[in-house]
Chain A
Amino acid sequence: MPDIALRAENLERRFGGLRAVAGVSLDVRRGEIHAVIGPNGAGKSTLINLLSGDLAVTAGDILLDGRSLRRLGPDRRGRLGIGRAYQKTTIFGASSAFENARLAVQARAGRPLALWPRRRAEQATDGLAEAALAAAGLAARGGIRADRLSHGEQRQLEIAMVVAGGAHVLLLDEPLAGMGTEEARTITALIRSLKAGRAVLLVEHDMDAVFALADRLTVMADGRVIASGSPQEVRRDQHVRTAYLGHGDPG
């Protein structure tokens, strides 16, 4: 299927005796948001770490446009177009928002470690960084130190960076965690705007956001997939109701 950007095949990760991810298969398609939900400790963050390369897989494979990523480190995967936002915002706190965005653009530029950069290349990098900030609604905040931005803005910045690098597969780990209603709305809109032309894997606890955003939904528990399908199908699934959505119908 041509529109599958990222595919996990029987992914497994053990921590000692614990199988944090125990044989997970799923596809993330271009132009789609695939949400993964599940209780705490289900293995969602571990799954994202496996896909991004932050953790090595114990078994199984990861395919990006059919190419195995299993042996590649996170930097190689980043350059191949996988972008990742962490559950705990991970940015360069002591640098300005603009510098953060510029680093993201630079990392995937032709010569990311240039010693004697061409002026034209530098101008192009700056331009793309400005554009990425603007697209994330941070156009006016470029000069501010990243750790002085509000919690929500830091999240926006992290997403802006991931996109600025040109990533076409996005792995977002609980982007709405700790957000106020207003901030959550901003970020939900931002995520929706990202899916055109990109494949998005979204781990999220906020069920309103999940059902508002997801084109496809996978439910994990104890490292396994217990249900997967369209949001409507999953909502009707009896296993899911008992295992996770048990206390009332969300949304």
Chain B
Amino acid sequence: MTAPADRHSWLVLALLLVLAALPLLAPGYYVQFATKILLMGIAAMALNLVVGFGGLVSLCHGAFFGLAGYVLALTAPRYDPAALWWSLPFAVAAVALVALVIGALSLRTRGLYFIMVTLAFGEMLFYLFQDAGFAGGSDGTFIHYKPELAVAGLTLVDLEAPAQFFWLVLALAAGVILLLRHLLAAPFGRALRAARDNERRARALGFPIYRLQLGAFVLSGALTALAGYFAAAQFGFVAPQMLGWHLSAILLVMVVLGGLRTVAGPLLGAAALMGLEEVLKLATEHWKLVEGLAIIGIVLVSPAGLRRLATAAFGASASGGEHLAAPPRSTAEDTTATDRSIRHA
């Protein structure tokens, strides 16, 4: 068995394969735009590991994304490119460590409280970079050279060349899809979904829920960092907005648009949202307003995603839909009370 409801990730992988021809066909602008979509898509897929598969709605993933970019900016030499082979793992590890601390504290809460606590931690990081003097404060800071991937002086991938940058990111996106597919079918992923569906039962069976969800949270943060690192490299600039809650919310919209129960759906969600934005920008100066209305429209037409999000945020009773339809399932009402009381014991 593989992850459920995930038959279409092969389709997305095939799509990525076709997309590899893009730099040969389209002008550079579109190649860079596609790169941007892929990077946001990777971040959205990473976020969905905790939101869709873990049932935990996080609002600090924007901070993980931006933080990775800041780590690149702060560790890069001023007049030379950073060496990718160590600066990327360093950025990912640094963000994973931050995710470990934030997750360790946030995962003591559930539902709305989890959303609020992760939001608060994300905003703390935002203000840290906004107000502190280093890294350019609210102005942000430039990354003058793209990181360099070279072995013994021989450049393997030239990130200054948009096509090569694109291909690298394309391969990363495919790799993330395959990795997530694998993990979700592995005992780890099965346990994660079990804890989402019925935490009380999963716990009674003996699954260490806290460790499980913390592991997922850190992994998700690390994959988000991967996207953030390359996004900052592509942009050549980092600023505090890159780690604000607004970005977290956009990632969440991509997840909902693409489908919470699919591995590659959020990547499609990213493409849909960013494509829409691009078209609207050309059509009207009130594009943000129209975009907002369009998102509301799309979500209302296919409410399953939103309902699942509400389930994660407010518990099964709030969603109204599928969970209540199933007869004698988990008892969400008294679960939370008893789970809490033992955690304080």
Contact = CB atoms under 8 A, between A and B. Distances in A.
Interface residues of A, number: 46
Contact of A115 (B1, B186, B209): B186
Q: Tell me which of B187, B328, B344 has the highest count of chain A C-beta atoms within 10 A of its own C-beta.
A: B187
A88 B204 contact: no
A5 to B, nearest CB: 17
Contacts of B203: 73-75, 78
Nearest to B261: A94
Contact of B183 (A53, A115, A125): A115
Contacts of A116: 186
B186 A117 contact: yes
A12 interface: no
A95 interface: yes
Given A53-B342, A55-B342, A113 B197 contact: no
Contacts of B193: 95
Interface string A95-118: 100010011101111011111110
B341 interface: yes
B201 A91 contact: yes
A232 interface: no
Given A49-B338, A93-B197, A103-B191, A112 B329 contact: no
Contacts of B198: 90-93
A79 interface: yes
A54 interface: yes
B205 A161 contact: yes
B214 to A, nearest CB: 11
B330 A90 contact: yes
A91 B329 contact: yes
B200 A90 contact: yes
B326 A147 contact: yes
A28 B194 CA distance: 30
A165 interface: yes
A112 B191 contact: yes
A165 B205 contact: yes
Nearest to B340: A56
A56 B202 CA distance: 18
B341 A113 contact: no
A104 B342 contact: no
B331 interface: yes
B239 to A, nearest CB: 35
A240 B193 CA distance: 46
A112 B206 contact: yes
A154 interface: yes
B200 A54 contact: yes
**Chief secondary structure at chain A's binding surface:** loop
B307 interface: no
A108 B191 CA distance: 12
A21 to B, nearest CB: 14
A84 interface: yes
A55 B341 contact: yes
Contacts, number: 125
B212 interface: yes
Contacts of B201: 90-92
A37 to B, nearest CB: 22
Contacts of A53: 342
Contacts of A76: 206
A44 B327 CA distance: 24
Best-buried of A76, A102, A113, A147 by chain B (most CB within 10 Å): A113
A242 to B, nearest CB: 32
Given A54-B200, A89-B328, A104 B205 contact: yes
Contact of B344 (A56, A92, A111): A56
A122 B328 CA distance: 30
Contacts of B183: 115
B142 interface: no
Contacts of B1: 99
A75 B206 contact: yes
Interface in A45-88: 49, 52-56, 71, 73-76, 78-79, 83-84, 86, 88
Contacts of A99: 1, 190
A151 to B, nearest CB: 7
Nearest to A147: B326
Contacts of A106: 187, 190-191
B81 interface: no
Nearest to B328: A89
B191 A90 contact: no
Nearest to A54: B338
A89 B331 CA distance: 9
Interface in B192-240: 193-194, 197-198, 200-209, 211-212, 215
Closest 5 CB pairs of A and B: A78-B206, A56-B345, A107-B205, A147-B326, A79-B206
8 contacts: A54-B339, A56-B342, A75-B204, A84-B204, A95-B194, A107-B205, A115-B186, A161-B205
Interface of B: 1, 183, 186-188, 190-191, 193-194, 197-198, 200-209, 211-212, 215, 322, 326-331, 338-339, 341-345
Interface of A: 49, 52-56, 71, 73-76, 78-79, 83-84, 86, 88-95, 99, 102-104, 106-109, 111-117, 122, 125, 147, 151, 154, 161, 165
Given A78-B207, A92-B197, A94-B197, 15 more contacts: A49-B338, A54-B339, A54-B342, A56-B341, A56-B342, A73-B345, A75-B207, A90-B200, A95-B194, A99-B1, A102-B190, A106-B187, A107-B207, A109-B187, A165-B205
